[in-house]
């Protein structure tokens, strides 16, 4: 599993990203960025501060059409993107006891959701 896991909560005018350090089990950083080329470049630079090359997958909430331009930008830059079902991510967030829906909780849940899935797959593969 990658050391850093990235999750992005998408929105109409801005997206919110969170980075989780799996080795230390701590939050490494968060960023709110605009839905624009400048905002996407800022996000790529932010993620690049944790990962030297496009090796870790970035989980992006596939809500409506708001994620499409970011996904296209990331894939063109060579970053692997995992689309996350917003309904399942919401259920995962609620299972952790978070009923409120601020962007900060969504971005963090969107990090933990694929990280938990990757851990389950890794555990099954080692049995």
pTM, whole model, 2 decimals?
Answer: 0.76
- The number of helices, as runs of H, and strands, as runs of E, in the chain is 4, 5
Task: Calculate the CA 70 to chain-centre distance.
Answer: 12
| Contact predicate 1/21, CB 8 Å | no
Beta strands 14-21; 26-34: pairing state:
antiparallel
* pLDDT tens profile 33-90: 999 999 999 999 999 888 766 656 788 888 889 999 999 999 998 888 888 888 877 7
Range of lowest pLDDT (23-37, 49-63, 96-110): 96-110
Beta carbons within 8 Å of 77's beta carbon, 6+ residues apart: 44, 54
Predicted confidence band of residue 30 (pLDDT cuts 50, 70, 90) = very high
- pLDDT value for 12: 92
Domains and their CATH numbers in the chain:
4-125 (3.30.420.40)
- pLDDT value for 86: 81
Buried b / exposed e along 100-120 (16+ C-beta atoms within 10 A): eeebebbbbbbbbbbbeebee
Predicted confidence band of residue 91 (pLDDT cuts 50, 70, 90) = confident
DSSP string, 102-115: -HHHHHHHHHHHHH
- For the four alpha carbons of 33, 91, 81 and 124, in that order, the dihedral sign comes to positive
CA distance 58 to 23: 17
How much of the chain exceeds pLDDT 70, in percent?
A: 69
- pLDDT value for 87: 81
- pLDDT value for 98: 60
Residue 44 tokens, joined: 């790529």
């Amino acid at each position: 599993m990658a050391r850093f896991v990235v999750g992005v909560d998408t929105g109409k005018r801005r997206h919110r990203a969170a980075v989780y350090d799996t080795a230390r089990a701590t939050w490494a950083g968060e960023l709110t960025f605009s839905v624009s080329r400048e905002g996407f470049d800022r996000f790529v630079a932010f993620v690049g501060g944790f990962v030297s090359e496009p090796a870790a997958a970035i989980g992006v909430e596939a809500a409506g059409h708001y994620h499409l331009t970011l996904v296209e930008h990331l894939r063109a830059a060579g970053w692997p993107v995992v689309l996350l079902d917003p309904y399942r991510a919401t259920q995962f967030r609620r299972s952790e006891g978070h009923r409120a829906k601020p962007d900060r909780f969504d971005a963090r849940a969107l990090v933990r959701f694929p990280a938990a899935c990757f851990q389950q797959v890794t555990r099954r593969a080692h049995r």
